[in-house]
Each structure stands twice: as structure tokens, then as C-alpha cells.
Amino acid sequence: MAGEFDLIARYFDWPAQSSSVALGIGDDAALTNLSLNHSLVVSVDTLVSGVHYPVDSNIEDVAYKALAVNISDIAAMGAESKWFTLALTLPEYDEAWLQSFSKGLKAAAAEYGVDLIGGDTTRGPQTLSIQIMGEVASGKALKRSTAKAGDVLFTTSTLGDGAAGLAVHFNSDDLLVQSPVKTDKAQSEAREYCLSQLNRPTARLVESRVIRNYANACIDVSDGLLQDLSHILKASQLGAELNTDEIPLSDQSKLLFGHEKALAYALSGGDDYELLFSVPQALCEKLQAEMTAHGLPCHRIGQLNAQTGIIKDQHGHPLTASGFQHF
């Protein structure tokens, strides 16, 4: 059986795409070149089989998603992703599994222009840990703690599709299979769309390059809109009003689950990786015009206020911050 170093050489030792990699895989540590007047941005996520993804998931999709969701954290900071490391724990050396995983990981790395520069492999329950690194101009990072009362809340693209995709994967009882407007083709296409949003989410790096010029605060929606919004509110000591009629929902999610359930998925489902950000009112028109000019999604969904920690809808009804919990 091949050993650890053969595994790394066969599946993960790729040529660097960027000259910023001074020394990659092969030594005790990697060396990178940080741009002048930039700060290092670092984030890490761990995915456990059966907890963060179903055990019967397509492993190529799992690998792609594992990197994409880390890059989403970099986008939320208004930064550029550059490098990543991989810590891979496997119960056994499975050549077919490794080929699929390597293919998905390499595809995501190529799409987002990031380099794998090191990591570790070990034996144990299937666990994937990716540390993503990037850079941002000094003093320009978007934070959760710098939102202001009166800021307008925006999100990129639709919410709730990741949770809808998970429900499709498990053939949830929430599926409205009896609706007469749903042809077999329409329902099949909607299912495939929601699954694709779950399995291959888009890290909004391109949108982030515009947003960072306007936003006061930003976060990516990984654990549900309400829960992630509550992180901004806590850090900035603010409250919020959400217009639930303006929260963007996909036609596919509404077709499969109905509007009410699709909205519930958007509010508390998680696994979307869209950006949620606040913008001063005076800059909203310019932001929207630039996003439109670049063909980028942008939806106004609410406003921040001074009622610390409280989230209400447009009718004044409280909205409970809930979402995915690790413990």
C-alpha cells in the first residue's frame, strides 16, 4: 500500500499558479510573499462526514465545496484569496476516493486562483480541514463590528437554496409534490438546481471586490440569515428590521417547497454562502448601479437601527435568530 508521501505526491502536489508562492509542498513549512502594505487574512473550517455533509455525498462535490466555503470567508472580509492548506483524515487509503477528492479540490482551486501550499494526512474518521489564507489592503478589511445605525442591509443572490438542496437530498416530507403546476420536468430541474446550490456553492469574490468599496460591515451567510445577521448586530451593538417580502428566494425553492417554507429556509437554513452586508444610505444608489453594471446580484432586504440585538420584520414582529449550531 502506498504511504503518506506517495499519497501527497500523487493527489495533491500541483504546480503553483501564482508567483506569490516562494516555497510550496515538500518542506516543513511553506513560504509566501505578501504584497506591500497588505495584511494577512486567515480562516479555517473543518468538515466531518455525516455532520457537515451526508455520508453518501459525491466526494468530488464535497472537496469543491470544502474549499469554496473557505474562500467565501475571505470574500466576506473584502479580501483576496491566495493560498490554502489541507489536513485530511481518512479511515483508509482509498484510491478511487482520493482521485475524486483531488479532482474536486483542484477544480475549485483553479476556478478561484488559489494555491495548495501544504497540510497533513492522517488515519482516522473522515475529516477535512482547510485553512485559507489571503490578503487585504492594510486597514481595509470588512468587519462585523463596524456597521452603523441607519445602514441598509443587502445580500447577494437568493437565500435558502442550500437548505432546500439538503431537503431534496433526503427527499424531505416538506416537498410539495402534489402541486398541479409542477410538471415532472420542472420539478426535476428544480431539484437539480437546489442540489447544485448545496453541493457547489459560489464564493462571492467578484461581488466582494465591488462591495468592499461601499460596505461598513459584511459576513457570509453560512448558518442562516438570522443567525449570521445576529453576529453583526452583537459585534456592532445594533438591531435590524428585515423586509421579509424583499428577501430573495429562488423560483426553484418556491416551486418545490412553497413560499412559506422557502422563506423559512432562507431565514434559518444556512449553507448559502451569500454575502450579507451593510451600506450607508448615501452610497446605496452608487453600489446598486455598479453591481448592475457588472451584472452582479444585489438585493436590499432591510436596515440597521439602534435597538441593540433585536431583529424585527417590516410589521414590527420579532424574528428569532436561529440557524445551524455545532454544539
Judge if 102 and 212 occupy the same domain. no
pLDDT of residue 327: 42
pTM of the predicted protein model? 0.89
Mean pLDDT on 204-219:
98
Binding-site annotation, residues for Mg(2+): 28, 43, 45, 73, 120, 220, 223
Mean pLDDT on 222-234:
95
Between 299 and 181, residue with greater pLDDT:
299
Judge if 69 and 125 occupy the same domain. yes
Judge if 206 and 302 occupy the same domain. yes
Q: What does the alpha-carbon distance between residue 102 and residue 115 come to, in Å, rounded to a whole number? A: 13
How many CA atoms, within 13 angstroms, populate the side-chain half-sphere of residue 55?
A: 3
Q: Are 100 and 19 in contact (CB under 8 A)?
A: no
Binding-site annotation, residues: 28, 43, 45, 52, 73, 119-120, 144, 220, 222-223, 271, 324
Q: What does the alpha-carbon distance between residue 108 and residue 167 come to, in Å, rounded to a whole number? A: 25
Judge if 130 and 188 occupy the same domain. no
pLDDT tens-digit series, residues 35-81: 999 999 999 999 888 777 888 889 999 999 999 999 999 999 999 99
- Cell numbers linked to 158: 437568493
Judge if 24 and 104 occupy the same domain. yes
- Pairing between strand 311-313 and 239-242? parallel
Judge if 115 and 194 occupy the same domain. no
Where is the domain boundary, 113, 137, 161?
Answer: 137
Residue 220's CATH number: 3.90.650.10
Binding-site annotation, residues for substrate: 52, 271, 324
Judge if 172 and 32 occupy the same domain. no
Residue 280: which domain range? 152-313
Q: What is the CA radius of gyration of the chain?
A: 20
Mean pLDDT on 174-180:
60
Judge if 266 and 220 occupy the same domain. yes
In eight-state DSSP terms, residue 196 is H
Binding-site annotation, residues for ATP: 119-120, 144, 222
Residue 112's CATH number: 3.30.1330.10
Task: Confirm whether 324 is domain-assigned.
Answer: no
Where is the domain boundary, 137, 164, 187?
Answer: 137
The answer, yes or no, to whether residue 136 has pLDDT greater than 90, is yes
- Pairing between strand 31-32 and 152-155? unpaired
Nearest to 18 by CA among 43, 35, 37: 35
pLDDT of residue 319: 92
Q: Are 278 and 153 in contact (CB under 8 A)?
A: yes
Could you give the angle at which helices 59-76 and 184-199 cross, rounded to 10 degrees?
Answer: 60
| Domain total of the chain | 2
